[in-house]
Structure 1
Amino acid sequence: MDGFFAQALVLLGATLILLPLFQRLGLGSILGYLAAGIAVGPLGLALISDGTHVLHFAELGVVLMLFLVGLELAPQHLWAQRRSLVGLGATQMVASALLLAAVFLSLGLDMRVSLAVGAILALSSTAFVIQMLVETNQLGTPHGRSAFSILLFQDVAVIPILLLLPVLAGTGSDEGGPQLLAGLLALAGMVAAGRYLLNPWLGWLAKLRNRELMSASALMLVLGAAALMEHLGLSMGLGAFVAGVLLANSPYREQLETDIQPFKGLLLGLFFLAIGMTMDLRLLLDFPGKIALYLVILLGTKALVLMVISRIRKATWRGTLLFGMLLSQGGEFAFVLLTQAVTLNLVDSTLAGQLNLVVALSMACTPLLLKAVAALWPEETRTPRPDLEEEAMPSHHPSVVIAGLGRFGQITARILVGRQIPFTALDSDPDEIDLLRRFGNEVYFGDVTRLDLLQNAGLEHARVLVLAIDDVEASMKTASLVQHHFPKVTIIARARDRNHAFRLRAQGVKLVVRETFESGLLSARLTLTELGVPESTALDLVRSFRALDERMLEEQIEHRDDHAKLLETSARGREELSALLKQDES
């Protein structure tokens, strides 16, 4: 099928048919995407003749994924994990590359070719591994963080591998030094821009209150960083990840994550589809023995290295096996590096085609291997023990979320800060955010009426939502969203006036605070004492009025739309109040 529109329909149709089936069978979404890609690709129904151009476009999904991962890792958290990043990553890369090179050398390949193949196959798939960890909620676990540390180091290791290939090909590396220097300068420039330019620019855009502009700026930021790195011959994902890390402490982090997330999901799915379409399964018929041997070598060698590392770190045997399987596949960057090796006449096209298929098959095998280990070796129920080798990462999901940090919400926030109780706060006023962050508060920009933003803010993990926004309709919409999607979260809602309180209580919000009610009661008590009324009497009067007014409010909620009934209850309330005050006076 020709044409973008027709191909999009084909890809969506295949996904909607096969993805639910694979998830229903418990095989996960990744295998579903791969199967859909094979089905519509050249070796399936041939509805799409060439998946290569789709793959190039879909690589943006990996770029966006790495940006979102970077947003979750503030620089101080990244620095706290430096031992894992360098120690784990370097050990895995060097050991895997040398061992793979030795195996391929023993199979008769040239020394230079063996070293190149070993270095290329030592890389694992960031897209596959992180997606599997996210689907199984294991990204924050010790082995999930260890896996991510290795993946991040591998992304950086792409730079020396790119410089190594021309040396092995015998074409020299005169451009290697300037290329590496340019990359370092670009990273330094990104750090400077992130510190001094990005937040003011995003703040200016936020004041325009245009959602499309914020989405466009988020995409421009990610793609610009990725394009800069690609232009310098480095990893696009590295640029996107660094951009995410630089904005991890930004007040606009939650909004950026919310805007990027839908694009990431679609493009990452398209990436897996494209991998399936580009798998040249005909090579299995031409070279079945070699493909099978290379696949076993790749999976077995990398799994062995990873398992040794895991055992040295005193992981359980089951965890060791799972860790080895998790990162045993080849990486998506292998396709790019193998193409580069062919261009340099270092690797012949036949071997490169075989290895491309081996990498793709290894990706497809990873979820199956993990499923097999989980099925054959069920996890024992036990008290979790912290990994002594892992630096603890702070929770990103405090138990309190404050929506709106104006004159009302910031009082709760300041008291929580004084008690050292962590909270996540959201506000849509950039000026208010800048002011409050100067006092040490963690405040983020965002529209709290958006469900995706509330999810990204971690509301599902919270116990309390302080709904302190000023706009009545936005308050009602947010309360409805929270009640429907986060029923276990207790809402403490600010009411601007009596009618707003009516609507909140009628909707089922039990803890409603009328913003002027308490101050009005205090004013009445002070007035009475200034007029000579004894303080104990003034306190009793105010307490009696509060009880009567709360009872009237409950009664009027039922008749809030009946004007005649409201007038009747109000008149009766005035009579009761008059009788009550006369009784106190006597």
Structure 2
Amino acid sequence: MSLLIQLTIILAFALVLVPMTKSLGLPSLLGYVITGIMLGPFALNLIDLSVELKQLQHLGLLFLLFLVGMQLHPARLISIRKQTLQLPIAAWLILSSLGTVLGVFALGLTVLQSLVISGGLSLLSFSLLQQQLNTILNSRITQKLTQFGLVQSLIAAIFMAMLPLFNMASPQHGLAYVMSLVAAISGLYLLQRYVLQPVFDLLEKTHTHELILASAVFSASLSFIALEALGIHATLAAMLAGFLISDSRFEQRLKLYIRPLQGLVFAAFFIVLGLSLPLQRIVEQPLFLGLGLITLLLVKMLLYVALNRYFKASWPDSTLSAAALLSSGEFGFILLYMAFEKQIANAALLEPYLILLMLSFLLSPFLFIAVQRYLLPRLQQADTGSQHLVNAPLLIIGFGRFGQLVARVAHLQHTPFTAIDSHLKADLALEAYGGSLHVLDATDATQLETMTLAQVKVTVIAVDDVEDNINIVRYLQLNYPEIELFVRARDRHHAHLLKDLGIAHIWRETYLSALELAEQSLASLNKQDEPLMTSIEEFRIHDQTLQRQQQHIEYDDTKLYQTQEAALDELAYLFQQDAEFKAKRLAKLKRDLSPSTSQQMKLDDL
């Protein structure tokens, strides 16, 4: 049968099966795999796995990894926060370690075989994750899961790069391989940045836009050929080529050009993968594959939920995130293929694990839909059932140095306040100072929904992260338009974003702006401008005196004042000193605040 007839039959089945899977709310990738299985030797047997189809699958895999590499833009990786970086690394290390131990002691595998197989099964399917994210409406969770996928893609690239080291004849060969890899990537990066980029700029100036795509393809092909010539595996070379091209200023335009091809690439790879699956293993080893699939999915689910809870995510968010990350996918397939190619294990040994990987790929979307439709609403209802009543008129979201200063001034003005922060201990005693603390993640809308804010008149938003700050502002504007918002801005750009949202009260981050914010927010509550201005001036004198006293405290080499525990101890000390100062104020100690004295205090503050 000619290749043209084979492709026609494949397209005919895909045009029926893929829309059916989409109508069920399932990712289209499942439709492609099912198409391959239906046409394969274990179903209708209409298509033979020819050499041409294998080549098409290989090209599809390389292009898929090229697209994944383009996602790993250096700036995008640098922007990932430490907590978001820790979760995927910890998850992969724990899963691969458990799998390695199980493989060695229970399945009789060698350490290297067990490490490669468990490492591949522990990696998620980034392409499947991207399609599942389209069904999640929470942009914060979507961003978090996308970053999770990027980090695991980076782990996969590092693992693929290090795998040949286990099969080297000598340590000298391994060192030579590592040095050639570093030299090739460095050289190609410099070539891309300082040679090819000026060529792209010249093409842009000459308005030959049709050649920009050709130049980008040339750059990617050059990177791929150079890496493969140095003995670097083709799959890793494709991924690194995408990573290098992502640093180009024409990255977004290139993505726009190749976006129509992306679906066809996914289709080619997953359809041929479905055709080539050794499904006879399901009949030969049903008990092993059944127990293995249940164990893999259950361990992944429990571990991801536990890690998300450890990093202070809510139960609904933890469960939804875990369900989205269950599938193994293309990275596991590549590692199993590399294990066969490097003669780490034979085909008979690897085939059951390939079937296990694909069963995980096929079943995980059904579990994700079940969690999203049936389990998640119950968790959200239970989570919102425990309401937190806020009786104070002043709410402070973000209880760092900025929010703490507002709280101290509120305490001196006999104004009750409520603080929200997810990084403090619940036993922090604020009641003696007219306040209360709720340990919640204000960036999580489901946790904010547990707050009853009917008594709140003014909210001070002092969250440091710009994106989290903006999300909180949007939530409060949408759900509590009657609350007056006083927002701390990190920089000029943040202030511009807040202005665009219609926020009238914005203070950029300095000590003086924190004092002014405290003054204005409390003035809005108390409507007593003159006495409050006097109180603020007295507070500044008191705080400067206190700061001069603290300069004489000797700290040890560990610099305890930089730790969170020491900062909270210092806050308790400051509240105590403020209380003593408050008592002295009640005695109406008078001080002459001359203009020259006030000007000198401002200079001291700066």
TM over 0.5: yes
Distance 1:121 1:62, change over 3 A: same
Q: Is the 8 A contact 1:100 1:301 kept in 2?
A: no
Q: Hey, what does 2:321 align to over in structure 1?
A: 323
Matches within 5 A, 1:416-565: none
Q: Is the 8 A contact 1:298 1:329 kept in 2?
A: no
CA distance in 1, matches of 2:107, 2:69: 41
Matches within 5 A, 1:343-358: 343-358=341-356
Q: Hey, what does 2:119 align to over in structure 1?
A: 119
Aligned amino acid, residue 126 of structure 1: F
Match for 2:64 among 62, 65, 69?
Answer: 62
Q: Hey, what does 2:217 align to over in structure 1?
A: 219
Q: Hey, what does 1:44 align to over in structure 2?
A: 43
Distance 1:358 1:390, change over 3 A: farther
Distance 1:192 1:85, change over 3 A: farther
Distance 1:343 1:190, change over 3 A: closer
Comparing 357-366 and 130-139, the one that deviates more:
130-139
Q: Hey, what does 1:29 align to over in structure 2?
A: 28
CA distance in 1, matches of 2:155, 2:361: 16
Task: Kindly state the Cα deviation for residue 64 of structure 1 after the two structures are TM-superposed.
Answer: 4.1
CA distance in 2, matches of 1:256, 1:162: 31
Task: Kindly state the Cα deviation for residue 262 of structure 1 after the two structures are TM-superposed.
Answer: 1.5
CA distance in 1, matches of 2:45, 2:337: 24
Instruction: Give the secondary-structure state (helix, strand or coil) at the position aligned to 2:345.
Output: coil
Q: Hey, what does 1:153 align to over in structure 2?
A: 154
Once the two structures are superposed, residues 523-557 of structure 1 have per-residue CA deviations (whole angstroms, 9 ceiling, x without a partner) of xxxxxxxxxxxxxxxxxxxxxxxxxxxxxxxxxxx
CA distance in 2, matches of 1:15, 1:138: 31
CA distance in 2, matches of 1:389, 1:268: 40
Aligned amino acid, residue 282 of structure 2: L
CA distance in 2, matches of 1:84, 1:194: 32
Q: Which runs of 5+ in 1 are unaligned?
A: 396-415, 423-586
Distance 1:29 1:328, change over 3 A: same
Please state if 1:78 is matched with 2:77: yes
Aligned amino acid, residue 105 of structure 1: V
Q: Is the 8 A contact 1:63 1:226 kept in 2?
A: no
Aligned amino acid, residue 156 of structure 1: A
Task: Kindly state the Cα deviation for residue 267 of structure 1 after the two structures are TM-superposed.
Answer: 0.6
Distance 1:216 1:308, change over 3 A: same
Task: State the number of aligned residues.
Answer: 391
Please state if 1:17 is matched with 2:16: yes
Please state if 1:176 is matched with 2:177: no
CA distance in 1, matches of 2:135, 2:203: 34
Q: Hey, what does 2:536 align to over in structure 1?
A: none
Q: Is the 8 A contact 1:119 1:161 kept in 2?
A: no
CA distance in 2, matches of 1:136, 1:175: 47
Comparing 276-285 and 84-93, the one that deviates more:
84-93
CA distance in 1, matches of 2:106, 2:464: 38
Distance 1:218 1:47, change over 3 A: farther
Q: Is the 8 A contact 1:100 1:298 kept in 2?
A: no
Task: Kindly state the Cα deviation for residue 56 of structure 1 after the two structures are TM-superposed.
Answer: 0.8
Q: Hey, what does 1:130 align to over in structure 2?
A: 130
Q: Hey, what does 2:559 align to over in structure 1?
A: none
Instruction: Give the secondary-structure state (helix, strand or coil) at the position aligned to 2:329.
Output: coil
Task: Kindly state the Cα deviation for residue 7 of structure 1 after the two structures are TM-superposed.
Answer: 2.7
CA distance in 2, matches of 1:349, 1:389: 53
Task: Kindly state the Cα deviation for residue 310 of structure 1 after the two structures are TM-superposed.
Answer: 1.2
CA distance in 2, matches of 1:351, 1:136: 38
CA distance in 2, matches of 1:81, 1:324: 19
- 4+ runs of 1 displaced by more than 6 Å? 137-140, 381-384, 387-391
Question: What's the TM-score once normalised by structure 2's chain length?
Answer: 0.57
Q: Is the 8 A contact 1:40 1:47 kept in 2?
A: yes
Q: Is the 8 A contact 1:124 1:328 kept in 2?
A: yes
Aligned amino acid, residue 386 of structure 1: T
Matches within 5 A, 1:154-303: 154-159=155-160, 161-163=162-164, 165-166=166-167, 172=170, 174-231=172-229, 232-234=231-233, 235-247=236-248, 250=249, 252-303=250-301
Distance 1:164 1:133, change over 3 A: farther
CA distance in 2, matches of 1:152, 1:391: 26
Distance 1:194 1:32, change over 3 A: same
Q: Is the 8 A contact 2:32 2:267 kept in 1?
A: yes
Instruction: Give the secondary-structure state (helix, strand or coil) at the position aligned to 1:246.
Output: coil
CA distance in 2, matches of 1:176, 1:391: 44
Q: Is the 8 A contact 1:61 1:266 kept in 2?
A: no
CA distance in 1, matches of 2:122, 2:303: 10
Q: Hey, what does 2:396 align to over in structure 1?
A: none
Once the two structures are superposed, residues 118-167 of structure 1 have per-residue CA deviations (whole angstroms, 9 ceiling, x without a partner) of 23322222222223325656786343234224323323332455145427
Q: Is the 8 A contact 2:84 2:144 kept in 1?
A: no
Aligned amino acid, residue 14 of structure 2: T
CA distance in 2, matches of 1:57, 1:385: 46
Q: Is the 8 A contact 2:124 2:329 kept in 1?
A: yes
